[in-house]
C-alpha cells in the first residue's frame, strides 16, 4: 500500500443482618464447619467452571473439535457453539474465535486462517496420537508417508484455507517442515526399520492451542473490548474509536469512513468512496486530495470517528438480499455471487445534505472534516502504512465518548443489521414463493 506524501494547504445492595448471640454446642460447631466446607468447595468448583469450561460447564473432550476464545481463554465444544464453523478437525491452531460471553453483541465470531505446513503437521500428529490413545495403542511416533501425509491429504479443506495443491510437490515441503523444527515442535527417531518416524516434542495435547499473543504481536489480531466490524450504517449518528498502539518511524495511518466500493488496494480516501484522517500533519483526504485539518496524531492517541447521516426518506434502508444470486463454490464453501458495479455506483453518487464527518483526538472535537458527503452506507475504515498498529473499539465502553452530540456506538448496529437482512430475505422469499436460485449450481 503506497502512502501519499503530498498535502494541500488548508446488585448488590447493602444489607445489615442482626446476629443473635447464643451458645453453640460442640456438635453444632462441627455441623456448621462441615456446611461451610461444603459451601466453600461448591463455590470454588463454580468459579473454576466459569473460568475454564464451555457454556455447558463440562470438561474438555480431546476427541472432538474444541475452540479457544481469544478473549476469556476458555475452551468451547464444537457442538455447543452456535456459529456455523464449517469443516474442522481437533487440535487446530489456525483460527480466531470469540465466544458470545465476550462479544458485546452476544454473537460468536470465528475466522479460520491459512495454516503453514508446520502447523498442519502438529495438528495431524496430535490427531494421530489421540486416536492411538483412544484405541489404547502405545504409539507416539508416526511415518511421514504412511501416517502424516495421508491424514493431511484427507482433511486438507478442514485444516486450512490454502487451496489444495494440484501436484504432490507439497509432500517434500512437509518433510522439510518436520526436519526444520526438530527439537522445538517435533521429535524424530531414525533407528527403526521403517525409517524416519516423527512425533511431537510435547506429548501434552491439552497445550496445543492458537498463539493469540503472537498474533497480537504480529498485528494479525488485536485484543480489544470488541470484535471485528462488518456492518455498515446509512442513517443516524454513529461513533467508533481507535487507539494508536504503535507508530514506528516512517509509518502512518489513515482512519475514517468508507463505502462498499472503496479501493482496498489503496489508502482510505484515495477515491470518491472514502473519507480519511491521516496521522502525518493531520491531513484529511478524499479523492486523493489532501487538505489541512488538524495537528498530527501519533502513538498513544485515542481517536474518535463520528458520522452524521440524516434520514433522506427517499431511499430504501433495507439491504439487498442475496437469495436471488447464483451460488458459487469456493474452497469447499458455497457463496452467493455478487458482481462489482463500481462505474454504475460512481455515476449515481449524490451529496447528502446535512451529512458530515467529525474527528476527535483524545476527546477533543477537531471540527467538521467533511460536510455534505455522498449518500450511501458507510463502514469504519482503517489503512495502515508499514508497521503501524491500531486497536479499535466499537463500544459500548468508549474511552472518550462525545459529549457535544447524541450518538450510537457501532456495536449497536450488529443486531440491527441482522434484523434488516432477515427482513430483506423474508420479503424476497415471500415474493418468490420460497424458491432460491439454484439453476447455475450442480449439487
* 280 secondary structure, DSSP code: G
Cell of 327: 451460488
Looking at 200, 223, 246, which one is the last position of a domain?
A: 223
Quick check: is 350 in a domain?
A: yes
Expressed as residue numbers, the domain containing 412 is: 224-431
What is the DSSP code string of 312-345? -SSS--SPPPSTTSPEEEETTEEEE-----HHHH
pLDDT, residue 317, reads 64
160 and 193, same domain (yes or no): yes
Q: With contact defined as beta carbons under 8 Å apart, do 151 and 127 qualify? A: yes
Give 108: exposed, middle or buried? Use CB within 10 Å, 0-12, 13-18, 19+: buried
**Which residue has 495438528 as its cell numbers?**
123
397 and 257, same domain (yes or no): yes
Cis omega before residue 299 (within 30°)?
A: no
307 and 364, same domain (yes or no): yes
pLDDT, residue 53, reads 78
268 and 347, same domain (yes or no): yes
Q: With contact defined as beta carbons under 8 Å apart, do 270 and 256 qualify? A: no
**Which residue has 498442519 as its cell numbers?**
120
Pairing state between β 302-309 and 142-143:
unpaired
Q: What DSSP element (H or E) covers 128? A: helix 117-134
Quick check: is 438 in a domain?
A: no
Could you give the C-alpha distances from 82 to 77, 138, 416, 418, in angstroms and in order? 10, 36, 19, 15
pTM above 0.75, yes or no: no
Per-residue pLDDT of the chain (443 residues; tens, 9 = 90+): 444 444 444 444 444 333 333 333 444 444 444 444 444 444 434 344 445 679 998 999 999 999 999 888 899 999 999 888 888 999 999 999 989 888 767 788 898 888 889 999 999 999 999 999 999 988 999 999 999 999 999 999 999 888 887 788 899 999 998 998 898 889 999 888 888 999 999 888 999 999 887 666 554 554 333 333 467 888 899 999 999 988 888 899 999 999 988 888 889 999 999 999 999 999 999 999 999 999 999 989 999 999 999 987 655 667 777 777 777 777 667 777 777 788 888 998 999 999 999 999 999 999 999 999 999 889 999 998 888 888 888 888 899 999 999 999 998 888 888 888 888 888 888 888 777 665 544 44
Quick check: is 247 in a domain?
A: yes
Q: What DSSP element (H or E) covers 217? A: helix 212-218
Q: With contact defined as beta carbons under 8 Å apart, do 83 and 57 qualify? A: no
Q: Which residues of 311-333 are buried (b: 16+ CB within 10 A; e: fewer)?
A: eeeeeeeebebbbebebeeeeee
Cell of 60: 474438555
Quick check: is 7 in a domain?
A: no
306 and 383, same domain (yes or no): yes
Quick check: is 178 in a domain?
A: yes
Q: With contact defined as beta carbons under 8 Å apart, do 369 and 275 qualify? A: yes
Q: How many CB atoms sit inside 10 A of residue 240's CB?
A: 24
pLDDT, residue 221, reads 52
Looking at 223, 251, 266, which one is the last position of a domain?
A: 223
Number of independent structural domains in the chain: 2
Cis omega before residue 396 (within 30°)?
A: yes
pLDDT, residue 40, reads 43
400 and 272, same domain (yes or no): yes
Q: What is the spatial distance between Cα 293 and Cα 366, in angstroms, rounded to a whole number?
A: 8
Q: Give the relative orientation of helices 117-134 and 170-180 as an angle to the nearest 10 degrees.
A: 80
Quick check: is 24 in a domain?
A: no
313 and 326, same domain (yes or no): yes
Cell of 318: 433495507
Residue 173 phi, psi (nearest 5): -65, -40
CA dihedral 264, 268, 270, 272 (to 10 degrees): 90
pLDDT, residue 20, reads 38
Quick check: is 96 in a domain?
A: yes
58 and 93, same domain (yes or no): yes
Q: What DSSP element (H or E) covers 370? A: strand 364-371
235 and 360, same domain (yes or no): yes
Cell of 187: 521429535
Q: What is the spatial distance between Cα 86 and Cα 335, in angstroms, rounded to a whole number?
A: 13
Looking at 223, 243, 262, which one is the last position of a domain?
A: 223
189 and 335, same domain (yes or no): no
Task: Check which CATH number belongs to the domain holding 285 and give it.
Answer: 2.60.120.920
216 and 244, same domain (yes or no): no
Q: With contact defined as beta carbons under 8 Å apart, do 122 and 91 qualify? A: yes
Cell of 140: 507416539
Q: With contact defined as beta carbons under 8 Å apart, do 96 and 111 qualify? A: yes
Task: Check which CATH number belongs to the domain holding 213 and give it.
Answer: 3.90.980.20
215 and 241, same domain (yes or no): no
Q: What is the spatial distance between Cα 195 and Cα 178, in angstroms, rounded to a whole number?
A: 14
Quick check: is 160 in a domain?
A: yes
Amino acid at each position: 500500500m503506497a502512502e501519499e506524501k503530498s498535502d494541500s494547504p488548508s446488585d448488590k445492595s447493602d444489607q445489615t443482618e442482626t446476629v443473635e448471640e447464643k451458645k453453640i454446642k460442640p456438635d453444632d460447631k462441627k455441623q456448621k464447619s462441615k456446611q461451610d466446607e461444603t459451601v466453600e468447595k461448591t463455590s470454588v468448583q463454580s468459579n473454576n467452571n466459569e473460568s475454564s469450561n464451555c457454556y455447558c460447564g463440562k470438561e474438555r473432550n480431546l476427541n472432538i473439535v474444541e475452540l479457544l476464545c481469544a478473549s476469556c481463554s476458555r475452551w468451547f465444544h464444537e457442538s455447543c457453539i452456535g456459529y456455523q464453523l464449517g469443516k474442522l478437525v481437533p487440535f487446530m491452531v489456525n483460527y480466531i474465535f470469540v465466544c458470545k460471553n465476550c462479544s458485546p453483541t452476544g454473537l460468536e465470531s470465528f475466522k479460520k486462517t491459512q495454516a503453514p505446513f508446520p502447523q498442519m503437521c502438529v495438528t495431524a500428529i496430535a490427531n494421530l496420537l489421540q486416536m492411538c490413545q483412544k484405541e489404547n495403542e502405545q504409539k507416539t511416533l508416526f511415518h511421514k508417508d504412511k501416517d502424516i501425509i495421508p491424514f493431511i491429504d484427507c482433511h486438507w479443506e478442514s485444516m486450512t484455507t490454502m487451496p489444495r495443491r494440484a501436484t504432490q510437490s507439497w509432500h517434500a515441503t512437509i518433510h522439510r517442515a518436520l526436519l526444520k523444527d526438530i527439537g522445538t515442535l517435533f521429535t524424530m527417531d531414525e533407528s527403526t526399520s521403517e525409517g524416519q518416524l516423527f512425533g511431537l516434542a510435547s506429548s501434552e495435547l491439552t497445550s496445543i492451542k492458537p498463539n493469540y499473543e503472537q498474533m497480537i504481536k504480529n498485528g494479525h489480531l488485536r485484543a480489544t473490548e470488541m470484535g471485528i466490524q462488518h456492518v455498515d450504517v446509512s442513517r443516524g449518528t454513529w461513533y467508533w474509536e481507535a487507539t494508536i498502539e504503535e507508530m514506528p518511524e516512517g509509518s502512518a495511518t489513515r482512519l475514517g469512513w468508507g463505502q462498499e466500493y472503496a479501493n482496498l488496494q489503496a489508502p482510505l480516501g484515495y477515491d470518491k468512496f472514502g473519507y480519511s484522517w491521516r496521522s502525518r500533519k493531520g491531513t484529511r483526504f478524499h479523492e486523493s486530495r489532501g487538505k489541512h485539518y488538524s495537528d498530527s496524531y501519533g502513538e498513544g492517541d485515542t481517536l474518535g470517528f463520528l458520522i452524521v447521516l440524516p434520514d433522506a426518506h427517499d431511499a430504501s434502508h433495507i439491504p439487498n438480499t442475496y437469495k436471488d444470486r447464483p451460488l458459487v463454490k469456493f474452497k469447499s464453501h458455497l457463496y452467493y455471487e455478487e458482481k462489482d458495479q463500481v462505474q454504475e455506483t460512481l455515476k449515481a453518487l449524490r451529496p447528502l445534505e446535512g451529512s458530515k464527518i467529525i474527528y476527535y483526538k483524545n476527546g477533543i472535537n477537531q471540527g467538521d472534516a467533511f460536510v455534505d458527503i455522498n449518500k450511501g452506507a458507510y463502514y469504519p475504515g482503517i489503512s495502515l502504512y508499514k508497521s503501524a498498529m491500531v486497536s479499535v473499539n466499537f463500544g459500548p465502553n468508549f474511552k472518550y465518548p462525545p459529549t457535544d452530540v447524541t450518538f450510537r456506538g457501532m456495536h449497536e448496529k450488529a443486531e440491527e443489521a441482522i434484523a434488516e437482512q432477515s427482513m430483506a430475505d423474508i420479503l424476497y422469499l415471500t415474493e418468490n414463493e420460497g424458491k432460491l436460485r439454484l439453476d447455475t449450481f450442480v449439487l
